[in-house]
Amino acid sequence: MIRRKEFDKDLEELRSLLQQMGEHVKDALEGAINALQNLDTTLAQEVVEADLQLNAMEDKIMEIGSRLIITQQPVAKDLRRIIVAFKISSDLERMGDLAIDVAKATMRLQGQQLIKPLVDIPRMAEIVTIMIDEAIQSYLDENTDLAYKMAQDDDQVDQLYGAMINELYSYMVTKPETVSQAMLLTLVGRYIERIGDHATNIGESVVYLVTGSRPDLNE
Amino acid sequence: MHQAARVSGRTVFFLNGVIVEAADTEVLFSTPKDSRTEDYISGRFG
C-alpha cells in the first residue's frame, strides 16, 4: 500500500498544479483585459512575461504524469486522471497563450485611442473567467453537471462575439480610418472566444474522467 | 495482474471465491462496473 500512497500523493500534486495553472490563466486574462481597456502597455508586457511560469507548470505535469505511467502502470480511473491532466494542462497552456495574444494586441495599439469604449470584450472576458473557474472546479470535484453548464456559458460568449463582429464591421464600413483597430479588436474577440472553447474542452475532459467516454460540448 | 491485461481477451475478477465482474479485458481495466474491481486493479487492496 506504500506504492498506492506515493501514487495518491503524486496525483494530488497534479491536481494542485492544474488548479495553479487555472488561477494563472485567470490572472493573465484579467491583466490582458485591464491592459487593453487602459491601453497600458507596461501591464501588457507583464502578462507576456509571466507566461514562462505557466509553461513550467505544464512541463512539471508532463514529468509527473509520465513517471506515474512508467512506474505505476495505472489502469481505469487512475489512468484517466493522468491522461486528463495532460489534456487539461495543454488546454490551459493554450489559454495562457491566447491571453498573451490579447496583451500583444494592446502593445500594437500603443499611441492610439480606442475607437469606442469596450463593452462586449470585457463582458466576454467576464463570462470566460467564470468558465475557467467552473472548468477547474468541475475537475477538482469531478462534477459533470458543472461541465455541461459550461457549454451554455460558451453559447453566450459565442453570441457576444457575433454581435461584436457585426458592430465592428459597421465601424469599418462607415469609418474606414478605423479598419486597422477594428480588425485588431475583432481578433481580440476571437482570442477570448477561443479561451472559452478551451474551457469547454476541459469540461469534456472531466466528463471523460468520470464516465470513460468523451462527449462533444463544443457543438 | 498486468500480465492478464496484456495477454487475455476476457478477464474475470474473483473476490473471496465469488465472481465480482467478468468483461472484455479492455473494458475491465478501463471502465470496470464494480467499485471493488476498480479498487483491486488500482492497488487499493490485495
Nearest to B38 by CA among A206, A122, A77, A10: A77
The domain in which residue A22 lies consists of: 2-211
The complex's ipTM works out to 0.82
Domain ranges of chain B: 2-41
Q: Phi/psi at A212 (nearest 5 deg)?
A: 85, -5
Model pTM? 0.93
Interchain CB distance below 8 Å, B44 and A4:
yes
Q: Phi/psi at B8 (nearest 5 deg)?
A: -105, 155
For the domain that residue A42 is a member of, what is the CATH number?
A: 1.20.58.220
- Residue A217 in any domain: the answer is no
What grid cell was written down for A49?
512575461
Nearest to A150 by CA among A201, A192, A76: A201
- Residue A49 in any domain: the answer is yes
pLDDT tens for residues A87-136?
A: 999 999 999 999 999 999 999 999 999 999 999 999 999 999 999 999 99
Q: Does any CB of chain B come closer than 8 Å to the CB of residue A174? A: no
- Residue A141 in any domain: the answer is yes
In angstroms, what CA-CA distances link A183 with A14, A45, A62? Answer: 39, 21, 37
When divided into structural domains, chain A yields a total of 1
- Residue A31 in any domain: the answer is yes
pLDDT tens for residues A13-61?
A: 999 999 999 999 999 999 999 999 999 999 999 999 999 999 999 999 9
- Residue A99 in any domain: the answer is yes
Q: Does any CB of chain B come closer than 8 Å to the CB of residue A212? A: yes
Residue with cell 489512468: A79
CB pairs under 8 A between A and B: 29
Interchain CB distance below 8 Å, A3 and B44:
no
Sign of CA dihedral B31, B36, B42, B46: negative
